Amino acid sequence: MLACTLPNIEPEAGDIKEWHEPAPSWAMLHRADIDELKVAERAFARALAAAHRRTTTGSRIQDLKSHFVRLADEWSQETGHISSASDLIGNAKYQQIIQLGWPAIPYLLDDLEHNKRFWFPALAAITGLRPFDSSDASNYQRMTEAWLRWGRRKGLI
Amino acid sequence: MAALGETEGTNIILAALPQLEYSFGKLAAAGYEKTSERTGYPPSLGSYNCIAWAADDAHHFMWPAPDLEWPFWSPRIESRAAFVAAFKWLGYRVCNNSRVEFWFHKVALYELAGSPKHMARQLRDGTWTSKCGGAEDITHYTLDALESYGPSPAKGEYGRAEIYMKRFILVSWAVQFLQWLEWKLESAWPHLGFLIWRKRQ
């Protein structure tokens, strides 16, 4: 039988205290700072996500606007010599503008106001509206004013 | 006017309006002159189209479509009958040729596949004046200068002159006076003028 003798070590009072109450770690010492950092990190992540959303939406808007401008310019070029209203509206580029739907309305109204292009049928097709009195039909100035007034009330321009 | 294709001793402008020449393949060969600047489409101020121009009217954009100007006495249908009816009450009657007749003013209606596309008005020297959509007015030396069959949008789609109408010259003067009067009244009191244009929506 193996005989084993352990040295008789008498623990000192300070050692027991150290065993029961270990020295505070770095994390414990800096808990407040860590919590503060976590809060800051979450805030930063939120801000980053918001910035990303803003950038993405902004670029989408920019894409839509440039797409509209390109289609509108191509339509103008392709139909400069056409008198038939149905041919003007039936042009593929004009139909593509109509298919842009409501998001294109601010650009249509802006173009109607500044470039005075023929957007009455597109506006009517997208919105299903005729915001002018029926007696003002064919009065292009009043029709324009009515569309712009409607757009301003809706906050679209 | 200096022009790229101007030939000695003549006034044929071959390269003045390349966009129109491209759209209408026979235009350069037939010969033409530019007689106005571009006007654009409604609601551009001062916009008018070929139909109004054929009717001696440079103040309206006439087409039988919703919200566009069209005489109240003619149905808003894109058909030969509607165009003939519109011009009938301006004093025109259908005739069977485009030859110059001293006592008559003439207009021609272009159609493609039975659908009206364009109108031209004859000038006293036998040439024709056209307003090409929102583009420039031109005087073209022949009617077939604007003959075109697409494919759209690269090429024009006016078809060919199918119907001719003529109006006695004295009737022309009377109607032109009434049109002038109507425009003056319309300028002064917009509501009055639009009585003519806005019915039958």
Interface confidence: ipTM more than 0.85:
no
Question: In Å, how far from its chain's centre is CA B120?
Answer: 4
Q: Is A156 on the interface with B (CB under 8 A)?
A: no
In a domain, A23, yes or no: no
Residue A26 falls inside a structural domain: no
**Residue B104 contacts A, CB cutoff 8 Å:** no
Nearest CA in chain B to A79: B153
Torsion of CA B23, B26, B32, B34, to 10 degrees: 0
Task: Tell me the C-alpha distance between B167 and B73, whole Å.
Answer: 18
B43 prior amide bond cis, ω within 30:
yes
In a domain, A14, yes or no: no
Structural domain includes residue A50: yes
A72 in a structural domain: yes
What is the least distance, in Å, from the CA of B178 to any CA of chain A?
20
Domain membership flag for residue A41: yes
Chain B touched by A80 (CB under 8 Å)? yes
> Does any CB of chain A come closer than 8 Å to the CB of residue B120?
no
**Is residue A5 a part of any domain in this protein?**
no
User: pLDDT 10s digit of each residue in chain A, 157 long?
Assistant: 455 566 666 666 565 555 566 666 777 777 888 888 888 777 776 776 666 556 556 667 778 999 999 999 999 988 888 888 889 999 999 999 999 999 999 999 999 999 999 999 999 999 988 898 877 888 888 899 999 999 998 888 8
The residues, any chain, with a CB within 8 Å of residue B118's CB and separated by 6 or more, are A83, A84, B50, B109, B110, B130, B132, B146, B158, B159
Chains A & B: contacts with CB separation below 8 Å: 103
Contacts of A135 in chain B (CB under 8 A): 194, 198
> Residue A105 falls within a domain, yes or no?
yes
How would residue B183 be classed by pLDDT, with cut points 50, 70 and 90?
confident
Identify the domain containing residue A87 by its residue range. Answer: 32-153
Domain ranges, ordered by start, for chain B: 18-197
Distances (CA, A) of A110 to A125, A131, B15, B24, B26: 17, 16, 35, 33, 38
CA distance B110 to B119: 6
The total of structural domains in chain A comes to: 1
| Sequence-separated (6 or more) residues with CB below 8 Å from residue B176 | B56
